[in-house]
Amino acid sequence: MYSKKELYQLRNEIPITVVIADVLDIPSKMIDGYFRFLCPHCSEFMTATNSKTNLARCFRCQKNFNPIDITMAANKYTFKEAVEYLQDTREKIKARENQVSRAMNRETAHMSTGAEGGYPKSQI
Helix axes 4-13, 79-112, angle to 10 degrees: 50
Q: Is residue 123 part of a domain?
A: no
Q: What CA–CA distance (Å, rounded) separates 108 from 116?
A: 12
CATH number of residue 26's parent domain: 3.90.580.10
b/e code 65-104 from CB counts within 10 Å (16+ = b) = bbbbbbbbbbeebeeeebbebbeebbeebeeeeeeeeeee
For residue 84, report the phi and psi dihedrals to the nearest 5 degrees.
-65, -40
- Domains contained in the chain, number: 1
Q: Is 24 inside any structural domain?
A: yes
Instruction: Count CA within 13 A, CB hemisphere, residue 19.
Output: 31
**pLDDT tens by residue, the chain, 124 residues:** 799 999 999 999 999 999 999 999 999 999 999 999 999 999 999 999 999 999 999 999 999 999 999 999 999 999 999 999 999 998 887 777 677 767 777 777 766 655 555 444 444 4
Q: What is the rounded distance in angstroms from the CA atom of residue 109 to the CA atom of residue 69?
A: 42
> What's the domain range around 55?
4-112
122 falls within a domain: no
Answer yes or no: is 120 within a domain.
no
pLDDT for the residue 114:
56
CA angle 56, 59, 63 (to 5 degrees): 55
Predicted model pTM = 0.76
* Residues 35, 59: Cα–Cα separation, whole Å: 14
In a domain, 43, yes or no: yes
34 in any annotated domain:
yes
In a domain, 117, yes or no: no
